[in-house]
Structure formats: structure tokens, C-alpha cells
Structure 1
Amino acid sequence: MDEIKPTAYDLMEFHVEALFTHDRNMRLHTINEPWPGEAPAPRFFLGRTVEGTAICRFRHDVPEKLIEQLKELCADEPAVTDFRTKPKHFEAYMNLLQGERFTMGPCYLVPGDVAPSLQVVGITRENMTEYLRGGFEWLASEIDYTQPCIALVRDNRAVSVCRSVRITSRAHEAGLETLDGFRGKGYAAAVVAGWAASVREAGRLPLYSTSWDNLASQSVARKLGLLFYGVNFTVT
């Protein structure tokens, strides 16, 4: 997988494929969560890349006429350099869709040479009772669905965990959680690095995305030198 060197456009395509289920017409249906239960996908997804290319996807119930209008605007989006910058046609998207809420945030690829700076362990059904206590008990019900799941352990309990929360045959998206009392110690960066290595071992690409206002998550991306390839934007 490493030898292919995907473009920013490829990575954005892998990203949207991982986030949502699609039908044959590439219309969105549900959020692609690996555990049971299906929440509806947003009505509109826009992925702007650092190369100046953009991907747009629409939920299956968005009218064709509206889709054509939105596609024209998407094609006019410039390359993104700052993930805090809203899309050029932000107001038009919100007005046309009569949008109530939007999300936006940077998207990264975890490079192949990233390695954990601290010792981490894989959490599975076999060892979860040993580690998932004192804060991560809730993870037990999802453990079979979110592999690989990598944790940093202190006093024989998991205090920081990174796991696959969106999964396809080409890429996994990271889900990162660190207990309150253990933040700011470099633990999150270590588990992301360990998770990414496991994902690559399985022949998939490790993707990491967050929201524009999640400073802690962006700090992890900076520490690890993650490769910024674009910004996602959705309207519900």
C-alpha cells in the first residue's frame, strides 16, 4: 500500500467511503459505524484538498436539481491551505440546503514511519477484562467491531485508547479517547502511532480526522507529523 503513494484526492475518497455507506449511484445512506445501529448520513459532504481538487457526495433523498446546483459550486472550490477556512461557497451551501448544522475539520494520513514513543498494547476480547476498567468499561461492548484497538496502560488499566471507528477494505479512521487525568503526557500520540502501525500491517491506510475546534486532537496530529491532505465539510 505504501508504494502506491495516494494523491490527496484519493485519500479524500477513501475518507468519505469510510465515513458513510453508499449505494450504487454513490449516494450516501448511513454513517458507517462498525457496531450495530445505523444513523443517517448528512445530506451533503464536501471534501476540499490541498491539491485544489474536491469531492462532493449527497444523501440519496437530496433532489437531483439541487445536486446539480451544488456540484457546480463544489467544482469552483479553491485548494485549501488553512483548515479553519470555510468553503468559498459556504453561504450558498447552507442556503440551498436550508442547513441547520454543519461540521468541518482537517483530515490527515498517518505516515508509515510513525512509531509509538511509549509502550502500547492491543486490546481484544481475550484481554479486555484485564485493562478496560476505571474509565473504559463502555468499550467492552464494541471491542469486536473496532479492531485494531490499541491502548496505553498505567497501573494495569487502559488510560488512552485509539481504535478503528470507520472501516473499509482500503482505509480505517481513528477514534481516540484519553481519560481526563492522563491528558497532556504524550499518551494519545503513542496510541495513534501504535494503531496506525497495526492498520498498515493489515494492508489498509490509517486516516485521522477531527473537528476544526478540537485543539487537543490537532496537537496530536502536529506531534506525530501527520500528513494534512484536506478538510471535510458536512451539512445535516
Structure 2
Amino acid sequence: MSDRKVIKPNAHELMEFHVKALFTHDQNARLRTINEPWPGETLAPRFFLGRTTVGTTLCRFRYDVPVKLVEQLERLCADEPVVTDFQTKPKHAEEYLNLLQGERFTMGPCFLVPDEIVPFTQVVSITPENRTEFLHGDFEWLNSEIDFAQPCIALVREGRAVSICRSVRITSRAHEAGLETLNAFRGRGYAAAVVAGWARAVRELGIVPLYSTSWENAASRSVAAKSALTFYGVNFTVT
């Protein structure tokens, strides 16, 4: 175990960790690309809004959004109320979409994986050295990412990984979880076990483990609820 001091950031700090993990930023704190650890670049959304449970908001804009439009959006962001329900859209959601002439938005809850969460059953770490042992069958696609998406924790049944949680957005302060469970093995609590194991591995690095999802993803939200993750806010993006 790491002897580093336990980090206990507040909800606003967690939202800052979250947006920095999701996207790369330039020297002006403008969004550039999605922060994927593997090779390749995908353009970031034009607008990010993080609403927190302590009543603060955090907004970011892609590098090509005009300054005058940024100023308009910032004024609206400052008027957002405290968030208590992850299904509630931002107060000014329609105005954000209209000003940006956006047709598509994403929204979802953001969680911290607490210190006390531990896996209820044995899990294993998947590394470049042992990947061929566990990543066969329906998880063969993960072989190309395993060098980059670390830590990677799996629950193994019959000699193969059936549920995996790995770091899919990585910074020096926080990692975001990427969770996959094979259809035939869902509903058994395996996802909660690998999330707990992954969070433990991340904390041993002195880094904060974060878990976020979309409001439409009922299965992912169920994992968060069953694992008693700490809700700290809601993200909202316009592409």
C-alpha cells in the first residue's frame, strides 16, 4: 500500500479533476481534444459545464469558440443553481444549445469512488505481461489498449476476464474509470467488484479514482448506486 497522504478534495475540486481528465487543454485553459491514453486524437466538445453539489459551476470552452460567445455563456453558467438530481438539465440548457447552434448534448452524473470501497471477491491486475492469459474471447479487442489503460483490473471466471475496469482518462491527479462486463455475466455484482479493485489500485498511486457515466446508461448508474459511490456533480457538454 502507498504511504502517501489520503487526498480528500471537495466537490468543486473533483469537478476540476474531472474536466482535466476528460479533455486536453491549451495554455488558455481552452479545450483541445478528448484525453484518451491510447494513440489518436478526437476533437473535444465546444462547451463543458460541470454543476456541483456545493452549488458551484465550472465551464470550459473549445479553443475555436469566439470570446464574445464565451462571455455570454459564462454569465449563464454563473446563474446555475446547486445540483441535487442528476436527471435535471441545466437551468439554461436551451440557451446553451441556441447560442452554440448545437444539435446534440450529453449529460451525466459524476462520482468519487470512496476509500472504503473494497472488492467482495478476488480480482486480478491485467498487464501487458499477462494479457494473453486473460484477454481471450470477447475481450480480445482490449489487447491494443492494455499498454495505455492502466491500472486495469479484471474479475476472472473459467480462466478468462468477464468484467474489467481500467483507467481510460488519465492525469497526474485523477483517473476516470472505463467499465465493461460481458453480457452473460451481468447482474452478479462483478462490475462493482472490479470498480472497487481498480479504485484501490489507483489510490495506491496517490491518485483520485473517478467514475462518471451518461444519464441514459441505467446499468452504469446501477453500479454506482450499488457501490455507494459519492455523487459530486453532473457534467453537460455541447458538441
TM-score, normalized by the shorter chain, greater than 0.5: yes
State the match for 1:117 in structure 2.
Answer: 120
SS in 1 for 2:120: coil
In 1, distance between residues paired with 2:138 and 2:158? 13
> 1:171 is matched by which residue type in structure 2?
A
Q: Deviations over 1:178-203 (max 9, x none)?
A: 00100000000000000000000000
1:104 alignment partner, one of 85, 102, 107:
107
> Residue 90 of structure 2 aligns with which residue?
87
CA 57–153 in structure 1, closer or farther in 2 if over 3 Å, else same: same
- Give the match for residue 175 of structure 1: 178
State which of 64, 81, 104 in structure 1 corresponds to 2:67: 64
Percent identity over the alignment? 75
**Pairwise CA distance, 1:208:** 0.0
Shift of 1:2: 5.9
- Per the alignment, residue 211 of structure 2 pairs with 208
Contact 1:20–1:32 (CA<8 Å) still a contact in 2? yes
Q: How high is the TM-score relative to the length of structure 2?
A: 0.98
Which runs of structure 2 are paired with 1:1-236 in the superposition (5 Å)?
3-236=6-239
Which deviations, in whole Å up to 9, do the C-alpha atoms of 1:30-77 show, x marking residues without a partner? 000000000000000000000000000000000000000000000000
Amino acid at match of 1:43: R
> Contact (CA 8 Å) 1:9, 1:54: kept in 2 or not?
yes
In the alignment, is the contact (CA less than 8 A) between 2:163 and 2:194 conserved in 1? yes
Taking the aligned partners of 2:155 and 2:131, their CA distance within structure 1 comes to 13
| Aligned partner letter, 1:125 | P
Three-state SS of the structure 1 residue aligned to 2:84 is coil
5+ residue gaps in structure 2? Answer: none
Counterpart of 1:207 in structure 2: which amino acid?
L
**1:134, distance to aligned residue in structure 2 (A):** 1.3
Distance 1:77 1:164, change over 3 A: same
Task: Identify if the C-alpha distance between structure 1 residues 3 and 130 changes in structure 2 by more than 3 Å, giving closer, same or farther.
Answer: closer
Q: TM-score, normalised by structure 1?
A: 0.99
State the secondary structure of the residue aligned to 1:93. Answer: helix
Equivalent pair of 1:2/1:112 in contact (CA under 8 Å): no
For the aligned residue pairs, the C-alpha RMSD in angstroms reads: 0.8
The SS at the match of 2:148 is coil
- Structure 1: any 5+ residue segments left out of the alignment? none
